[in-house]
């Protein structure tokens, strides 16, 4: 008998509890998902890639760098401003999924699992994704802390801006033969905020518990497999569908970056639907996504999702509490949206936490998420054809 959605959830979250990025459990999860998707289509592959092995350490290093910027500004404020601006730009690029200095760090292997359902006369590509690693449980993902992530990152970006701006103002004053004694106070206050942020991320990098990852994101993988079965039963007419279980989400969403970077497909003809933590909470589809700055989801995707919402009751939401794979997709200029289950704080239920167990997952909601994803693809095919 073919396993059902709860069998998939239980295997991934109980048999393979703690599927942290680049772990042995993540590798075994890829093999399991490969076997499940191979039962739908023989065109299924495990595609390895390499990425940095500690994302929290990368973030902490960027934040800590601003202490050096503030120190350099004591003697050379204008060069320090250029240095700080470069660090801030590189940090934003990293956060959006474009590696800069992290390319210089040691890299270790993870993998994506990709299955393809091809049509005879394809006019577009639909990419249905779900990350399969669970991520570590840290002080930054504790209940209540995840809901404050957007505010934290906005504060950190403001502090970066203050450090760079005060360097510029003080440097301009020095060139004019004047002094501005208030600037160092503002700068060191902002640098202290960034120093505290660096400490928080260093602690998160050094300490983390195992997250079972039943809802996040074994439920998304189960919905992905179920959607594959529905599409096999009734294929789309003129669209290729790629079903991708992505690895290393906990490494700066490296899996989706590797997938899009090596896909060789046209951005303008590709639409991405991401399944994230769909087994608990209130099921929603995103119309804008990203943290700390939200980006609008693809217009045709939003229209197709709004039509599917009329029958399947998956209403729209702006997701700004956490960064999903769709955040990186949108930042790269692709069309994307997520289907996600949210708690009352607007955070995916059990997000990277130790209590995210299979007994809390609702199988009917996973089925509804899979049906909604397929309805969006079918509706998008009709809209794009019109």
List, for residues 120-165, the tens digit of each pLDDT value. 888 999 999 999 999 888 888 888 888 888 889 999 999 999 999 9
CA neighbours closer than 13 Å in the CB half-sphere of residue 204: 28
Q: Give domain 5-53+110-137+209-385's CATH architecture.
A: 3-Layer(aba) Sandwich (3.40)
Return the higher-pLDDT residue of 291 and 22.
Answer: 22
Residue 357 · residue 157 · CB < 8 Å: no
- Could you tell me the two tokens for 354? 């130790």
List, for residues 326-369, the tens digit of each pLDDT value. 999 999 999 999 999 999 999 999 999 999 999 999 999 999 99
pLDDT at 29 over 70: yes
Write down the pLDDT at residue 163: 96
Instruction: Give the number of other Cβ atoms within 10 Å of residue 2's Cβ.
Output: 9
Residue 244 binned pLDDT confidence (cut-offs 50, 70, 90): very high
pLDDT at 1 over 60: no
Average pLDDT over residues 299-307: 96
Average pLDDT over residues 260-272: 91
pLDDT at 104 over 90: no
Q: Considering only 133-142, 174-183, 373-382, which range has the smallest mean pLDDT? A: 174-183
Return the higher-pLDDT residue of 161 and 102.
Answer: 161
Phi-psi region of 89 (alpha: psi -120 to 50; beta: other; left: phi over 0): alpha
Phi-psi region of 28 (alpha: psi -120 to 50; beta: other; left: phi over 0): alpha
How many angstroms separate the CA atoms of 310 and 195, rounded?
A: 48
Write down the pLDDT at residue 117: 96
Average pLDDT over residues 11-28: 92
Q: Considering only 4-8, 163-167, 206-210, 250-254, which range has the smallest mean pLDDT? A: 206-210
Helices 220-233 and 24-38 pack at an angle, to 10 degrees, of 20
Considering the chain, what percentage of its residues have pLDDT values greater than 70? 99
Residue 19 · residue 133 · CB < 8 Å: yes
Name residue, tokens 């003809």: 269
Residue 318 · residue 287 · CB < 8 Å: yes
Write down the pLDDT at residue 18: 83
Residue 122 · residue 236 · CB < 8 Å: no
Q: Give me the chain's average pLDDT, please.
A: 93
Return the higher-pLDDT residue of 243 and 1.
Answer: 243
List the one residue out of 280, 322, 354, 347 whose CA is nearest residue 144: 347
Residue 152 neighbours by CB under 8 Å, 6+ apart: 197
CA torsion angle 331 333 336 341 (round to 10): 10
How many angstroms separate the CA atoms of 163 and 70, rounded?
A: 7
pLDDT at 178 over 80: no
Residue 310 neighbours by CB under 8 Å, 6+ apart: none
Distances, alpha carbon 254 to alpha carbons 95, 103, 106, in Å: 11, 12, 14
List, for residues 315-336, the tens digit of each pLDDT value. 999 999 899 999 999 999 999 9
Q: Where are the alpha helices (DSSP H) in the chain?
A: 5-10, 24-38, 55-72, 77-95, 149-175, 182-206, 220-233, 254-261, 299-312, 325-331, 363-385
pLDDT at 2 over 60: no
- Could you tell me the two tokens for 87? 């660090």
How many angstroms separate the CA atoms of 304 and 239, rounded?
A: 15
- Could you tell me the two tokens for 308? 């599917």
- Could you tell me the two tokens for 233? 């039963």
Neighbouring-strand partners of residue 241: 117, 126
Distances, alpha carbon 271 to alpha carbons 19, 193, 304, in Å: 28, 39, 11
Average pLDDT over residues 91-120: 90
The secondary structure of residue 331, as a DSSP letter, is H
Write down the pLDDT at residue 290: 87
Q: Is 107 exposed, middle or buried (0-12, 13-18, 19+ CB in 10 A)?
A: middle
How many angstroms separate the CA atoms of 306 and 376, rounded?
A: 9
Q: Where are the domains positioned within the chain?
A: 5-53+110-137+209-385, 57-103+144-206
Average pLDDT over residues 57-86: 95
Positive/negative CA dihedral, 170, 174, 180, 185:
positive
Residue 97 · residue 175 · CB < 8 Å: no
List the one residue out of 249, 200, 191 whose CA is nearest residue 220: 249
How many angstroms separate the CA atoms of 122 and 277, rounded?
A: 30
Residue 373 DSSP SS3: helix
């Amino acid at each position: 008998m073919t396993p059902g959605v709860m069998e998939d959830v239980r295997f991934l979250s109980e048999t393979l509890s703690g599927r942290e990025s680049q772990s042995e459990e993540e590798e075994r999860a890829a093999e399991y998902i490969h076997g499940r998707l191979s039962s739908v289509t023989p065109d299924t592959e495990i595609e390895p890639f390499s990425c940095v092995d500690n994302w929290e350490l990368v973030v902490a290093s960027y934040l800590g760098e601003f202490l050096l910027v503030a120190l350099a500004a004591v003697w050379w404020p204008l060069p320090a401003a250029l240095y700080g601006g470069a660090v801030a730009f590189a940090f934003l690029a990293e956060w959006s999924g474009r590696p800069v200095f992290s390319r210089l760090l040691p890299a270790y292997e993870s993998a994506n699992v990709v299955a393809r359902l091809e049509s005879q006369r394809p006019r577009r590509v639909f990419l249905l994704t779900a990350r399969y690693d669970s991520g570590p449980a840290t002080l930054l993902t504790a209940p209540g802390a995840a809901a404050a992530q957007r505010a934290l990152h906005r504060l950190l970006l403001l502090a970066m801006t203050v450090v760079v701006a005060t360097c510029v103002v003080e440097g301009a004053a020095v060139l004019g033969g004047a002094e501005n004694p208030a600037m160092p106070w503002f700068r060191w206050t902002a640098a202290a905020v960034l120093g505290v942020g660096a400490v928080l991320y260093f602690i998160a990098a050094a300490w983390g518990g195992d997250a079972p990852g039943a809802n996040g994101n074994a439920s998304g993988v189960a919905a992905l497999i179920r959607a594959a079965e529905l599409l096999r039963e009734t294929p789309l007419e003129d669209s290729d569908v790629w079903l991708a279980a992505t690895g290393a989400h906990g490494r700066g969403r490296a899996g989706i970056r590797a997938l899009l970077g090596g896909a060789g497909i046209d951005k303008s003809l590709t639409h991405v639907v991401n399944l994230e933590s769909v087994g608990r909470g209130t099921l929603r589809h995103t119309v804008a996504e990203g943290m700390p700055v939200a980006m609008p989801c693809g217009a045709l995707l939003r229209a197709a999702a709004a039509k599917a919402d009329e029958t399947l009751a998956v209403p729209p939401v702006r997701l700004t509490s956490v960064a999903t794979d769709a955040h990186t997709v949108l930042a790269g200029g692709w069309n994307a949206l997520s289907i996600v289950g949210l708690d009352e704080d607007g955070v995916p239920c059990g997000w990277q936490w130790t209590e995210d167990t299979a007994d809390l997952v609702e199988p009917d909601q996973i089925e509804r998420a899979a049906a909604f994803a397929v309805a969006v693809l079918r509706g998008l095919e009709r809209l794009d054809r019109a």
